[in-house]
Amino acid sequence: MRKILITTGGSGGHVIPAKIIYEHLSNDFDIFFSTDLRGFKFFSSENYKIEIINTPKIRFNIFFPINLIKLIYLIAKSIFFLKKEKIDKVISIGGYMSLPVIIASKILGLIIILIEPNMVLGRGNRFFLNFAKKILCYSDNIYNFPKKHIHKIELIKPLVSKSFYDLRADKNLNNKFCFLIVGGSQGAKIFDELIKDVIFDIAKKFSIKIIQQTSKENIDNLKKFYDDKNIENQIFDFEKKFHQIINFSDLCITRAGASSLAEMSLLNKPFIAIPLPSAKDDHQLENANFYLGKGCCWVLDQKTLSHDKLLEFLLNLLNNKSELVDKKSNLEKLNYNNSWSDINKKLVRAINEN
C-alpha cells in the first residue's frame, strides 16, 4: 500500500480538513500525519500515526537565530522520517507548521499536493506553491492567488466529514426554534457577552432553544444564565458529535472558518456569519462572502455590531421566515449532487496521478 504523509497543525481550521482527507484516503493508502503540538490536541485519542514536527514561527527578532537552527534541525528530522517510512507523496493543508516537511519533501523529490480550504490563499500555501504539483481548492477565484500557478488549481467540493453526509435526510427536528451559536476552535468572547443578552430578549417573544459553544471555563456560568431565564439550552466547548448538534438547529450564528461553514452548508442550515476581524488576510470574510454571493447566508460586521442591531435583525427573521426559507432553498441548490463518493473518487484520482 502506498504511503501518504498529511502535514498539518495549528488550529482546527488546518487539522479538521486533514482528518477529513484521512477519512477519504485511509482505505486506499497508508496514512501518516505530521503536526505541531498545538495541532496534536485535535487528534485526541484516535489511533493515528503521528509525527510531531513542532515548527517555530520564523520572525526577525532576538529569537531568530535560535528558531532558524530549530528549523534546520526539523528539516533534517523530516528528511529522516520521510525516508524511514518510505513516504510516496505529501499533502499539506498549509500553514508555517508544514514548512520543514515541505522543504524536506522538495529535497527528496517527492510529489507535493496542497489543500486550500479558504477563499484567500494562505501565506504558507502561497510559498509552497513553488514546490507543489497541484493545489485542491473549493473555487478557482481565490484571492491572492499568483497567476503563474493558476494551472495547478484542481476544484473539489468543500471537505466535510462523512458523518455529516449520513445526516442529510433529517428534517423538522424541533418543536422550538433552535439557535446554534458557534465561536470556532479559537473561541469568540463577543458570542458569550453580546449574544446571550440578545437571546434573552428574543425568548420574551418566541419559544426558542439555544445550543451554544463556549470555553470550558465559561460553561457553568453561561448555563446558569440561560437556566435562570428559563431558556432551554445546551452548552458545550467541544463536541465530537457536532454534526448532530448542527442538525438540530434552525439557524446558526457562527464565525466563518471554512470547515464550519461547509458543515452548515451541507446540512442546509441557514447561518449568520460574523467573521473574525483578526483573521489573517481577512480570509474569514471572504469565506463568508462565498456563501453570501450564492444567497445562502447573512454576513454581519463585528466592528459595527451592537445588541440592538442584532436583536432587530433576528426578530425580523423570526417574524418573517420567508428569508430563512429562501436561504435554505439556495443551500439545497448549492449542495445538489454533492456526494461523499464523488469527492472520494476525485481525491483518490488526484493523489494517484503522477
Residue 247: alpha-carbon gap to chain centroid: 17
Class of 165-334 in CATH: alpha beta
State residue 170's pLDDT score. 52
Taking the C-alpha atoms of residue 197 and residue 247, their distance in angstroms, rounded to an integer, is 24
Q: Which three cell numbers stand for residue 347?
A: 481525491
Taking the C-alpha atoms of residue 180 and residue 235, their distance in angstroms, rounded to an integer, is 10
Dump strand ranges (E) for the chain.
3-7, 30-35, 50-52, 89-92, 111-116, 134-137, 153-155, 177-182, 208-213, 232-236, 251-254, 271-273, 297-299
State residue 184's pLDDT score. 56
State residue 279's pLDDT score. 80
Taking the C-alpha atoms of residue 104 and residue 110, their distance in angstroms, rounded to an integer, is 9
pTM for the model: 0.90
Per-residue pLDDT of the chain (354 residues; tens, 9 = 90+): 899 999 999 988 899 999 999 999 999 999 999 999 999 988 876 789 999 999 998 887 888 889 999 999 999 999 999 999 999 999 999 999 999 999 999 999 999 999 999 999 999 999 999 999 999 999 999 999 999 999 999 999 999 999 999 886 555 556 899 999 987 545 567 788 889 999 999 999 999 999 998 888 888 999 999 999 999 999 988 766 788 888 889 999 999 999 999 999 999 999 999 998 888 889 999 999 999 999 999 999 999 999 999 999 999 999 999 999 999 999 999 998 899 999 999 999 999 987
State residue 268's pLDDT score. 93
Q: Supply the CATH classification number for the domain 3-157+338-352.
A: 3.40.50.2000
Do the first three CATH levels of 3-157+338-352 and 165-334 match, i.e. the same topology? yes
Beta bridge partners of residue 115, listed in sequence order = 136
State residue 188's pLDDT score. 63
The domains of the chain are located at 3-157+338-352, 165-334
Q: Which three cell numbers stand for residue 285?
A: 470574510
